[in-house]
Amino acid sequence: MLKKELEELMTFMKDEGEQLGLSQVNLDKIKVDKIETLKFTFPSHTSQLELIRLVSSRVISTLPAFDEDDLDDIGLAMDEACTNIIVHSYHENISGVIIVKFTLEPDKVTITIIDKGEKGQTFNPDELSIVDKEAYLSTLSRGGLGVHIIKKIMDEVEYTVVPGLHNCLTMVKYGKISVKK
């Protein structure tokens, strides 16, 4: 459901509730519990990164709880995750695919990114060392911060491997109007 349609529906429900004499306390408890999932498959090539970011922003912008800053942050996390898949999991083999699933709730988005790259099968983000910012900046290094950036931006991050099948990165971001559960 598009953001405009969702806002119109919520306004309609609250207006009708007022006309029916419902208290403001009860009207404020009205929420939408509908969950929608969209799935996209992209080739594992760096030329796809901008399109993945654009699709991500467009899909998430339909949710009223996310503003432009959120969209930019999530786009950066998506870019980092997909770049890592292309470069590290597939070793830039363009025959692979990246599957991106968006599970949309009014105040939350869950993004699941799946790849079948062999190198991703041996990756464990929990084994990454904490970044020493001063040392990193003093060497003027490039790269190596993707997982750290993703964890900083997103509210929940989980990486799982199903041996021989696929690698799965699940990222959750709560909207500014939500309360984490």
- pLDDT tens figures, 52-104: 999 999 889 888 899 999 999 999 999 999 998 998 888 877 788 999 999 99
End-to-end CA separation in angstroms for the chain: 24
- pLDDT tens figures, 133-149: 555 445 555 555 667 88
Local confidence band at 119 (pLDDT 50, 70, 90 cut-offs) = low
Residues near 163 by beta carbon (within 8 Å), at least 6 away in sequence: 121
Mean pLDDT of the chain: 80
User: Is it the case that residue 156 has pLDDT exceeding 90?
Assistant: yes
Say how far apart CA 81 and CA 9 lie, in whole Å: 35
pTM for the predicted model, two decimal places: 0.72
Q: Does domain 32-174 have CATH number 3.30.565.10?
A: yes
Q: Please, which contacts does 151-155 make with residues 24 or more away whose CB atoms are closer than 8 Å? A: 153/73, 153/74, 153/76, 153/77, 154/74, 154/77, 155/180
